[in-house]
Structure 1
Amino acid sequence: MTNNTVREWLENWLDDSDDKKTTLEDISSHGCQSGVVPELIYYSDTHKFFDVHYNSIMELVEEYREMTGSEVQFNGDLKNYYSWFAVEFMAWELLNELEMVE
């Protein structure tokens, strides 16, 4: 399975989690900077993730803009920040979907 979107990548990554809800809560609450997503710790990893998922990441940035009326503010390395933002934002969306089902 190819993981063309951030959502597909995250859902696939969550398949290895014993408690998806807790993992999504950890990502949403503490962010990728906490190391909760080991595949996205190093710049080399976040840069590769950004390059592979660029279109999906930019769609999430636009979705965020439309939802909040504000721009995504980043500090530091753009590829790193946008990769983390996309995974955190998608974790928040998946968590909301999961909670609606419960």
Structure 2
Amino acid sequence: MKALEKSMYKQYEVCSAFNKIILSDLGSYDGTKKEQLKSFLEDLQNGGCMSGMISEFIYHVDCKKFYIENLDDLENIRKEIEDSLGEPVKNTHRLPHYTFMCWLCFEEYCFDIYRNSFE
């Protein structure tokens, strides 16, 4: 799917794992692949990972495993986000760091795809 190649984060290996998560969830949406992706991304923007819509990131233990496997990429994505914002990203919900990082990076990746494909 071409839209998934439009992210500024595509150089990170973790994005292939993110793409698998996205693609596995599209089947529950109606329409063409592009319409399904748009609906999925809009749902994520409304509720975020916190809503529980991303089954891979519901439980802290799953987030911890994912974070450990993708630590360098996730921390580098966070650094890019902070560089573009000009300030640190705050963990306002006081989540475990690994859960916060999974949610932050996945949501930012998805928002970037949305910005580049649908705005």
User: Structure 1 length normalisation: TM-score?
Assistant: 0.85
Match of 1:9 in 2: 17
Match of 2:42 in 1: 25
Q: 1:6 to 1:22 in 2, by over 3 A?
A: farther
Residues 50 and 57 of structure 1 are in contact (CA less than 8 Å); yes or no, is this contact kept in structure 2?
yes
Comparing 67-76 and 39-48, the one that deviates more: 67-76
Match of 1:35 in 2: 52
Residues 41 and 110 of structure 2 are in contact (CA less than 8 Å); yes or no, is this contact kept in structure 1?
yes
Match of 1:57 in 2: 74
Count of equivalent residues: 97
User: Structure 2 length normalisation: TM-score?
Assistant: 0.74
Structure 2: gaps spanning 5 or more residues: 1-11, 28-35
- How far residue 15 of structure 1 moved from its aligned partner, in angstroms, is 2.0
Runs of 4 or more, structure 1, over 4 Å off, are none
Residues 21 and 56 of structure 2 are in contact (CA less than 8 Å); yes or no, is this contact kept in structure 1?
no
**Over the residues paired in the alignment, what is the CA RMSD in angstroms?**
1.5
Residues 45 and 111 of structure 2 are in contact (CA less than 8 Å); yes or no, is this contact kept in structure 1?
yes
Percent identity over the alignment?
A: 21
Larger Rg: 2
